[in-house]
Structure 1
């Protein structure tokens, strides 16, 4: 089976591929690797299950059960568990049985979950994964502090990782916060909007995927060359992943994505298709610019009309082209890695990102 065929199967798999609703993308991926990788999917499946149990225990570990309900809220709703999967796939290039690999996988997911708590507060989001967000249940102040608790928990757990993984985790935390601040502050004087978008994306999204791969490589004692290649792959995949999310926000109904369609438009997030539409020269983009500038003042149907226009806009096509360019760079980074089943899986993830928006 080719990587493209594998990705097509993943794309067509049910959202809740795992019986308990956990790690749907990871479970769907591993269940379709086939007999040409003996022992691989079983080993990864056990490692993911171990990481999931540790994650649930970590997010519930609070002296007050009310705090545990808050900090464990998003973990309990499920999720893709892509970051733990990336940690475990990277560990395949070293010794996957090395002590602390599962802990590294949980650290990556804790940082990710913390960023979701904070993002949902900033975006005033009401749902995630089809369930109410923490801020919708407990309010913004409590949700923000829940995210802080998860970051503190991640820092505590990462203290036992190997020095290289610990240092990468620390640098990534700084990059994520810097990316969030850049997003809130906006472009600087004379800064190009697209350049600002990619700086924000590198910090908010790509940094964490790169960290997941890097800590998996370091914790499993893989070589520096392997770790560097995996980090570069993660950087490029992360930017492509964010572009895909931007496109899905505009193109995918809530029933499919679990998130309110066009939420970024409603809260004024300058996603890549929006930025490209502002630069567009055709009639469709001209109408989009007017709608985006006026917002609700354009009338009750402005949001639906904007979504309809993005579905046929050249800005959407340009965003897809930029996404594919990043995916090509990610694949190029894989070229330096040995031809292990994990490399095939990482290559298939590129196809999967592309198919999500196809």
Structure 2
């Protein structure tokens, strides 16, 4: 992989999250413009932070996934939450950068844990530079986020520290597995509450805080984000089974092949019918699936009750998120957040 700076990479800054912004703000051109401008500003700051190291090798290492792309969902949530206060207030864009740095850090660490070969359609950091450098690069991104959060004041710093702790705790919970006698599905929800939902909730809370929204609005947005995060992770579990590699930016069925205890997997293991026996047998193996076994398991999932059950649980969380929104002021951003629930549901349709 040739050495080059982040700004030499062949894609426009405004491409980040543009399709999602357009969908969520379809009925309000003013909101769409503010969100696009905010994402543009956040992207420039994100790239600048990625280039801040003196050694160009570290610049490439820590900026690799930022440059590769992504929906920029978490910065977008920050900007939407800021609409419930003053979206032009100092600190809003910086808050958006913080959430993406934390997210990128978690991806570096997740890819090491999962031995992932690709991320966002490019080689993962661990596959190209090795696991030790990938872990340290993720740590550095998390430290950068903490430095930025401290500059926004005590509330932002405390929120960032709390979520960083929840992310690590979620990863640890996943590694150690359920406690003796614990329901594996309950354990799954505890894991994703830390690994996914915590950061989506933080993105909305910190955005509203920096925009000067009321404490009630901050709390309500955070609660919405937590429910959205749970649904978002279940949707991601389902997409691992159905979405083509080109859409996901990682191998289809990768989580399934390496034995990740996703919700569909857990529910399929609990299916004691004769029809589910073959899938249960594939999922019970202690070694990673061979390619042919993975293809067979993916096919079986589409006809398994676990698929419909997982989809139902995802929609249940989305309904909970949507009901929370009714307590918020009726600004255009509330409609956009409601549309986001539809977007998550449609991804698995």
TM range (shorter): over 0.9
**Paired position in structure 2 for 1:195:** 186
d(CA) in 1 for partners of 2:301, 2:23:
34
Where 2:285 maps in the other structure, the secondary structure is: helix
> Which of 271, 276, 283 is matched with 2:267 structurally?
276
d(CA) in 2 for partners of 1:298, 1:207:
31
TM-score for the superposition, normalised by structure 2: 0.93
Asked whether the 8 Å contact 1:23–1:78 carries over to 2, the reply is: no
> Which of 289, 292, 296 is matched with 1:305 structurally?
296
Task: Give runs of aligned pairs for residues 93-242 of structure 1, distance below 5 A.
Answer: 93-242=84-233
Asked whether the 8 Å contact 2:14–2:40 carries over to 1, the reply is: no
> Which of 34, 44, 47 is matched with 1:53 structurally?
44
Higher mean C-alpha displacement, 113-122 vs 56-65: 56-65
Residue by residue over 1:99-139, the C-alpha shift from the partner in whole angstroms, topping out at 9 and shown as x without a partner, is 11111000000000000000000000011111111111100
Using the TM superposition, give the Cα deviation of residue 298 of structure 1 relative to its aligned residue in structure 2, in angstroms: 7.9
Cα distance 1:275–1:25, how it changes in 2: closer, same or farther (>3 A)?
A: farther
Q: Which runs of 5 or more structure 2 residues have no equivalent in the other structure?
A: 1-9
**Paired position in structure 2 for 1:337:** 328
d(CA) in 2 for partners of 1:142, 1:134:
8
d(CA) in 2 for partners of 1:222, 1:24:
29
Using the TM superposition, give the Cα deviation of residue 54 of structure 1 relative to its aligned residue in structure 2, in angstroms: 0.1
Where 2:88 maps in the other structure, the secondary structure is: coil
Asked whether the 8 Å contact 2:223–2:324 carries over to 1, the reply is: yes
Using the TM superposition, give the Cα deviation of residue 295 of structure 1 relative to its aligned residue in structure 2, in angstroms: 5.8
Q: How many residues align?
A: 340
Higher mean C-alpha displacement, 155-164 vs 328-337: 155-164
Using the TM superposition, give the Cα deviation of residue 38 of structure 1 relative to its aligned residue in structure 2, in angstroms: 4.7
Q: Which runs of 5 or more structure 1 residues have no equivalent in the other structure?
A: 1-18
Residue by residue over 1:157-203, the C-alpha shift from the partner in whole angstroms, topping out at 9 and shown as x without a partner, is 11011332222111111111100111111111221100100000000
CA RMSD, 1 decimal: 1.8
Higher mean C-alpha displacement, 155-164 vs 77-86: 155-164
Asked whether the 8 Å contact 1:243–1:319 carries over to 2, the reply is: yes
Asked whether the 8 Å contact 1:51–1:103 carries over to 2, the reply is: yes
Cα distance 1:234–1:34, how it changes in 2: closer, same or farther (>3 A)?
A: closer
Higher mean C-alpha displacement, 187-196 vs 206-215: 187-196
**Paired position in structure 2 for 1:347:** 338
Asked whether the 8 Å contact 2:25–2:336 carries over to 1, the reply is: no
Using the TM superposition, give the Cα deviation of residue 36 of structure 1 relative to its aligned residue in structure 2, in angstroms: 4.6
Using the TM superposition, give the Cα deviation of residue 22 of structure 1 relative to its aligned residue in structure 2, in angstroms: 5.2
d(CA) in 1 for partners of 2:22, 2:247:
22
d(CA) in 1 for partners of 2:161, 2:187:
23
**Paired position in structure 1 for 2:4:** none
d(CA) in 2 for partners of 1:24, 1:355:
21
Where 1:166 maps in the other structure, the secondary structure is: helix
Where 1:339 maps in the other structure, the secondary structure is: coil
d(CA) in 1 for partners of 2:307, 2:296:
15
Asked whether the 8 Å contact 2:258–2:289 carries over to 1, the reply is: no
Where 1:268 maps in the other structure, the secondary structure is: coil
Asked whether the 8 Å contact 2:259–2:288 carries over to 1, the reply is: no
Cα distance 1:230–1:297, how it changes in 2: closer, same or farther (>3 A)?
A: closer
TM-score for the superposition, normalised by structure 1: 0.91
